[in-house]
Structure formats: structure tokens, C-alpha cells
Amino acid sequence: MSERIAEVVIVAEDLRQVNFVRRSLRCVESNRQVRVVRSPTGTGSGEQFVRQQYSKEVERYRNRSTRRKAALIAVIDADTNTVAYREQQLENELKSDGQAKRKESEKIALLIPKRHIETWIACLTGEEVNETADYKSTKDIEGKIKKAAEKFYDWSRDDYSLPDRCVPSLQNGLKEIRRVD
């Protein structure tokens, strides 16, 4: 069994993303220290904020992980771009800051829902979704976050058989979250 992660940092665009990740982490352990770095409401592009903060938080993670078990989870919507495009943007942020690429061994997860986190929430709560429609206005999306986060945890287990309705960006996110287990 691996050593318990003492601190998790969540870098996110908005409160829904934060709530989703926090709730999914509670399925594993509730006594981790969680620090949230979230885009201030009404101050511009959330995805730009995450890209800019990502490099700083990776550097902080790398410095701290030598002294204590830590993890970093960056949540950024793909919007109408691809998941690979957003991953490359985050990689470019590290490169432009003079940092090394994210290593496979590092407990850094990139959760990149295509279009929005609401797509994942709807999918995880049983709706048939696609990655081109906009689900931000889905009825009672806030009320579905807890159930979606619990399903996200269940679906992320190695032995779980994913339903056919699981969209590709969510499949990728499920693999990514295993990095911080």
C-alpha cells in the first residue's frame, strides 16, 4: 500500500470543478489537507488562469514532494478544443517557465472535460451526452455533483467496467486521477 498523500492542491477554473474534485477525493479519504487555487469570479478567462497557475503549482509541488507526500490536480475545460490541445498548452506553460515535462511518476493529474465539467457530471449521473453539446444549463446540475463525484471515484477503480455512455474525455480523466491515488 502506498503512503498516504498529506496535501492535495486543486487548480481549477470555477467552483463546480472544485466541488466535483473535492467530493471525489472524499470518497478516498477525508482528512487530507486540500488547498484550492481557483480563478477569481468575474476577472477574466478561467482556463487562462489555470494555465498561468499550473506552472507555479507544479514548481511548488516538486519542491514540497521532496519533504512530504503531495499531489496536484489541475482542472481545465477543453471547451471546443481537444483534450490533447489543452494538455499541450499546459506542457508549454512548463516549458516557457524553464521546467521539465510532467513525469509519469509525478502525482500530477490533468482533468480536462470536453466541453465542460457539466458534461462529466451529466454523464456520470446517467445521462446520454456528447462532447459537443453545452450542458452548463442542465437542470439541477449543482445537486448532481455529489452523485457524479461518487461515480467518478467508482469508475476510476482498475476493476470497474465502464458503461458505453462514458465519453472519451472522461475516460482520460479516470486514468489521470489514478496518478494521485
DSSP string, 62-83: HHHTTTS-EEEEEE---BTS-H
Domain boundaries of the chain, sorted by first residue: 7-180
Q: Are strands 70-75 and 7-12 parallel, antiparallel or unpaired?
A: parallel
- Give percent of the chain above pLDDT 70: 93
| Amino acid 4: pLDDT | 66
Mean pLDDT of the chain: 91
Q: Which conformational region is residue 163 in: left (phi greater than 0), alpha (psi within -120 to 50 degrees), or beta? A: beta
Q: Are strands 33-38 and 108-111 parallel, antiparallel or unpaired?
A: unpaired
pLDDT at 29 over 90: no
H or E segment to which residue 25 belongs? helix 15-26
| Amino acid 1: pLDDT | 34
Average pLDDT, integer, range 49-69: 90
Q: Is the pTM here over 0.85, yes or no?
A: yes
Q: State pLDDT tens for residues 72-126.
A: 999 999 999 999 999 999 999 999 999 999 999 999 999 999 999 999 999 999 9
The better pLDDT of the pair 29, 70 is held by 70
| Amino acid 44: pLDDT | 63
Average pLDDT, integer, range 151-168: 93
**40-54, 110-124, 164-178, range with the lowest pLDDT:** 40-54
Q: Which conformational region is residue 118 in: left (phi greater than 0), alpha (psi within -120 to 50 degrees), or beta? A: alpha
| Amino acid 178: pLDDT | 92
The better pLDDT of the pair 170, 158 is held by 170
Judged by DSSP in three states, 38 sits in strand
